[in-house]
Structure 1
Amino acid sequence: MLIRSCVRKFIETYYPSANLIAAAVAPLPHTTWKNTCFLNTQMANSKPETKNESKKGVPSFVTPEYIELQRQKKAEKMAKKATLKQSMPQQNQPREFNTDFIKRDMLPLPNFVPYDEDKLPVDIKVMTYNVLAQTNIRRSMFPHSGETLKWKNRSKVLENEFKYYVPDVGCMQEVDAEFIPSFYKPLMEGMGYDLSFQAAKGKTHGILIFWRTSLFQNIKVDVIYYDDHNELPGRMNTKNIGCCVSLQRTNDLSKGIFLATTHLFWHPYGSYERLRQGALLVKEVNAIAEAHQTWPVIIAGDFNTEPFDTNYPAMTTKPFAICQRATDIIERSMNYVFGESELEGKEEAVTQPSITQSENDSENGTSTATSTASTPTPSKKRILHVQNEFVPHYTTFYEQHQKNPRLVSLYSYGYKHVDPENAKNAFEHPAFTNWANTYQGHLDYIFLMDRNSTKEKSADEVIEGIKLKSLLRIPKPSEMKEAEPLEGRYPSDHVALMASIQLI
């Protein structure tokens, strides 16, 4: 200790600037001594600096070979990590939705003989399809549909269907107004179609007609508002409409077609309104078609009408004939007293919980207007809505139907020839076009208007100037599972109908 003290005093006296050196020989605490030893060890293990190295430059050992070696090591590490990830269980990974669907064939008519070439015939495929409005979906109405109910999933399947079947003209019902600019219009235009969308005021979905622009050009659009026709008043305002487009052929401006669609009143006891709306539709479309007497008239859509419902025989039989079963149906409908909640005029007005955002999402993940829509509270009070002396008897609509031209259902005409096992009923239609949770039946049709019924036609003509070539196959009930839509099967609770016809 005496020697150390003398050395310190000597340094402080003759070398006052060397206090750090003096501190270096001072006694060190235990922790400081331990840290110093650790530092000395680290310095001993580090690579000594060479003469060619600078403190701020790249170390001399970082050669191109060294860099390449490090890259190889990193690549091997990443590959090993990827292999390990693939071998791990995937239950936590989101499952990809199956956007495939059941593909159906066009079934050719066995007796089809084409028109002579000198008549310049044209083949067109006509589709009708109720695509199920997203605004009508309630989870409780589709308990088996799962992820299929989401618009981001259903829309991809609908797109795949259209691109597979590629109709030339078509009609759609329950088309969401909000998806026209984001989905339907870009899809249709990208496939070479033009379109016309119409909806009644206050409704979130409507009807749409499309046509291939290489074959047709639109010259007129007429909308039929059933609620506004006071010459045949109804019991209530239902907000159902019809639409007719006049389409001129691009290769011959003197020829064309009239294509009309509708979605009639939905209620099970709504036969009275459907009978009225069917009479008005045919009446108005026939008046529109007066502009071109030789052009064919096609009417396709969701009529919410079974073949045995009063509206179907009223539209399709000449001379006019209504059986007792149809009479019983229309009389029950005439006497039915609607509840207050049933007068909303929309399918979703029944007591169903409203849809959540997850089922009604749009493609960008934002909720739609209807995701917050409340469900109407049903009234316990039963009322007669405008059913009074101003409401006509249903036979008044019979009178209008008798004046109207006859409609011919293409599936009734031809399906027994292409799939007789699925057309054994009295009306020779497929068993169903709608396969929902609480109801399955035939509601959709493609009609031709027989405006020249007195003129003679050949045996293989449906009406004068039109032959049926083929029909899109409709599945049998035995092929169905739970209510549609279902993943990998159908994106709507209806199936599309399509007919290939040849016209001159």
Structure 2
Amino acid sequence: MTTLPFPLCLDKLLKKYTTKTQLFEYLDSQLNLFHRELYDVPTAVREDLIDDSRKVSLKLMSYNMLAQSLAKSSMFPNAGKLTSWKYRNQYLVYELIIRDADIYCLQELDSQYLEDWINFFKNIMGFNCEFVKYGSKNHGCFIAYSLEKFEASPDFFSSISFDDEIVDTEDTNIYNGAKLTRTSNIGALMVLNYKARYLENIGYVSTHKKGVIIGTAHLFWHPFGTFERTRQNYILLKKMQLLKQRYVEKDYKSFFMGDFNAQPYLAPYEAMTLSKPVKFEDNKESFYYLNGSMEYDFQNEKNPFSKDPKETECFYIPENMDIAKSLEDCFNKLPMRAISMYGHSYSKVDSINSIVKNHMEPEVSNSCGGFTGLLDYIFMVVEESDLKVDINKKYQNLYDSHKVDIKKLLQVPTLKSLKSDNEIMMAHVSGSDHFSIFCEIDIYL
């Protein structure tokens, strides 16, 4: 049985260990965390270009840290005392330190501990940060960014309240969420400019600004929320398109990271990433949930279908088919698409845990309350004017298509490789029910 560290809440932990080195040395000696490999991805750049090109090295991390109000022993019966904040926060801090990212996108960050997290990032890590939450909800989304590489203030910052957003379409009757439920889901978008001094240090001198567009979100969690998640993903891509009209792609690469609460073989993921035209009904399992989510009684938790979708044929409600077709058309007209960093390159470093059904993504990033699945992603969002492009052909080499090279990917373990009864939130594995995901990329200027 793994021994837990001495109980210290986050505020006391930061008072006792006041530097990054002190924190790391203490936590490293106490936690005995499960080791995850940081894989080197084979480069996509020709050898003769590697040394002569000016490039930004960027490390990106996304992590759902599990709000403390959700860390209940009934949900995590094998986690024991780790559900207590005085133990769990130490694992979260350690995870953030050892990944050593330039940009952190965090979900389910507790508002009651917000000042402590700001203290950690500003005074320990040397980062600036922004936090957004919906109304009185007790957790939200958080973006922290390095002041070594980026200017102190964002060039642009905006929150996204999905309940207040509508899908733009010529069909004014398209379903826009009111029929289901208010989800209280939130996201954030930020534009960061590189510091002139940092660019000079890598050999780039210009008065022309360059930077990155960064977004994060935590989408609707409900098993029958498939349509709403798909709608929310459309909103994300549309928001990115509007920003890219101002911050052009050659100067600002765009990344959206977070907990999308959708597995890769379902409509929310496929509509963002697969070749167009998107046809929702081609994926029968996904379309079952897409269709049923528009009839689900969320208030009474009543399923309109009497059988499991894997055991029965879908039946299609004509009105809902029309609504799904309208959303499908919106995706097909939008000259944007998302490229998953893991889906693109994880098979190059971990063929065992690159799942064909998952479009070569890993198998699982979350385990909780009987559910296991992949929900977390790092997407690069790109402009794509050719709506019938063969993505597998065009995006096979991201250096050739977008002057980006994926250098490293953090291992996503299989659950069966853990000594924790397939649970992620265990003392020697993680302080959350999610794995963090991390990539290091080179952006060629």
TM-score bracket for this pair, using the shorter chain length = 0.7 to 0.9
The partner residue of 2:406 within 435, 460, 468 is 468
Q: Does residue 395 of the first structure (1) align with residue 345 of the second (2)?
A: no
- 1:269-308 counterparts in 2 under 5 A? 269-293=224-248, 294=250, 295-308=252-265
Normalising by structure 2, what TM-score? 0.77
Change in Cα spacing, 1:230 to 1:199, as seen in structure 2 (3 Å) is: same
Q: Could you tell me whether the CA contact under 8 Å between 1:435 and 1:441 is conserved in 2? A: yes
Identity %: 27
Aligned counterparts of 1:220 and 1:410: Cα–Cα separation in 2: 24
Q: Does residue 110 of the first structure (1) align with residue 6 of the second (2)?
A: no
Aligned counterparts of 1:248 and 1:204: Cα–Cα separation in 2: 31
Q: Does residue 238 of the first structure (1) align with residue 183 of the second (2)?
A: yes
Q: Does residue 187 of the first structure (1) align with residue 117 of the second (2)?
A: no
Q: Does residue 497 of the first structure (1) align with residue 445 of the second (2)?
A: no
Change in Cα spacing, 1:460 to 1:393, as seen in structure 2 (3 Å) is: closer
The amino acid of 1:264's aligned partner reads: L
Aligned counterparts of 1:268 and 1:95: Cα–Cα separation in 2: 35
The partner residue of 2:340 within 409, 414, 418 is 409
Aligned counterparts of 1:144 and 1:458: Cα–Cα separation in 2: 42
- 1:80-479 counterparts in 2 under 5 A? 96=6, 98-113=30-45, 115-182=49-116, 184-189=117-122, 190-217=124-151, 218-231=154-167, 233-234=176-177, 235-251=180-196, 252=199, 254-293=209-248, 294=250, 295-322=252-279, 323-325=282-284, 326-340=286-300, 393-404=323-334, 405-426=336-357, 427-452=359-384, 459=397, 461=399, 463-479=401-417
Q: Could you tell me whether the CA contact under 8 Å between 2:65 and 2:109 is conserved in 1? A: yes
Corresponding residue for 1:373? none
Greater shift, 448-457 or 438-447, is seen at: 448-457
Specify the SS of the correspondent of 1:450: strand
Q: Deviations over 1:221-249 (max 9, x none)?
A: 11111111244620321111221100000
Aligned counterparts of 1:390 and 1:420: Cα–Cα separation in 2: 39
Aligned counterparts of 2:38 and 2:381: Cα–Cα separation in 1: 23
Specify the SS of the correspondent of 2:427: coil
Q: Deviations over 1:267-313 (max 9, x none)?
A: 00100110111111111122122211121110110000001111111
Shift of residue 160, structure 1, vs aligned partner: 1.2
Aligned counterparts of 2:401 and 2:115: Cα–Cα separation in 1: 38
- The number of equivalent residue pairs is 366
Aligned counterparts of 2:415 and 2:400: Cα–Cα separation in 1: 28
The amino acid of 1:406's aligned partner reads: R
Shift of residue 99, structure 1, vs aligned partner: 2.9
Aligned counterparts of 1:103 and 1:215: Cα–Cα separation in 2: 28
Specify the SS of the correspondent of 1:201: coil
Q: Could you tell me whether the CA contact under 8 Å between 1:242 and 1:261 is conserved in 2? A: yes
Change in Cα spacing, 1:117 to 1:228, as seen in structure 2 (3 Å) is: same
Change in Cα spacing, 1:224 to 1:452, as seen in structure 2 (3 Å) is: same
Aligned counterparts of 2:411 and 2:230: Cα–Cα separation in 1: 28
Q: Could you tell me whether the CA contact under 8 Å between 1:334 and 1:394 is conserved in 2? A: no
Shift of residue 317, structure 1, vs aligned partner: 1.6
Shift of residue 415, structure 1, vs aligned partner: 0.6
Aligned counterparts of 1:391 and 1:309: Cα–Cα separation in 2: 16
Q: Which has the larger radius of gyration?
A: 1
Q: Deviations over 1:52-91 (max 9, x none)?
A: xxxxxxxxxxxxxxxxxxxxxxxxxxxxxxxxxxxxxxxx
In angstroms, what is the RMSD of aligned CA positions?
2.6
Q: Could you tell me whether the CA contact under 8 Å between 2:72 and 2:83 is conserved in 1? A: no
Aligned counterparts of 1:467 and 1:191: Cα–Cα separation in 2: 26
The amino acid of 1:461's aligned partner reads: Y
Change in Cα spacing, 1:477 to 1:168, as seen in structure 2 (3 Å) is: same
Specify the SS of the correspondent of 1:135: helix
Normalising by structure 1, what TM-score? 0.68
Aligned counterparts of 2:53 and 2:407: Cα–Cα separation in 1: 17
Any gaps of 5 or more consecutive residues in structure 1?
1-93, 343-388
Q: Deviations over 1:326-348 (max 9, x none)?
A: 22221122232223479xxxxxx
Q: Could you tell me whether the CA contact under 8 Å between 2:217 and 2:260 is conserved in 1? A: yes
Aligned counterparts of 1:466 and 1:111: Cα–Cα separation in 2: 10
Aligned counterparts of 1:457 and 1:339: Cα–Cα separation in 2: 43
Aligned counterparts of 1:335 and 1:119: Cα–Cα separation in 2: 54
Shift of residue 164, structure 1, vs aligned partner: 0.9
Shift of residue 403, structure 1, vs aligned partner: 2.7
Shift of residue 257, structure 1, vs aligned partner: 0.4
Aligned counterparts of 2:5 and 2:115: Cα–Cα separation in 1: 29
Specify the SS of the correspondent of 2:128: strand
Change in Cα spacing, 1:121 to 1:494, as seen in structure 2 (3 Å) is: same
Specify the SS of the correspondent of 1:399: helix
Change in Cα spacing, 1:391 to 1:313, as seen in structure 2 (3 Å) is: closer
Aligned counterparts of 1:477 and 1:457: Cα–Cα separation in 2: 30
Aligned counterparts of 1:151 and 1:96: Cα–Cα separation in 2: 12
Aligned counterparts of 1:132 and 1:425: Cα–Cα separation in 2: 28
The amino acid of 2:345's aligned partner reads: G
Specify the SS of the correspondent of 1:242: strand
Change in Cα spacing, 1:466 to 1:143, as seen in structure 2 (3 Å) is: same
Aligned counterparts of 1:467 and 1:230: Cα–Cα separation in 2: 35
Greater shift, 396-405 or 257-266, is seen at: 396-405
Q: Could you tell me whether the CA contact under 8 Å between 2:43 and 2:406 is conserved in 1? A: no
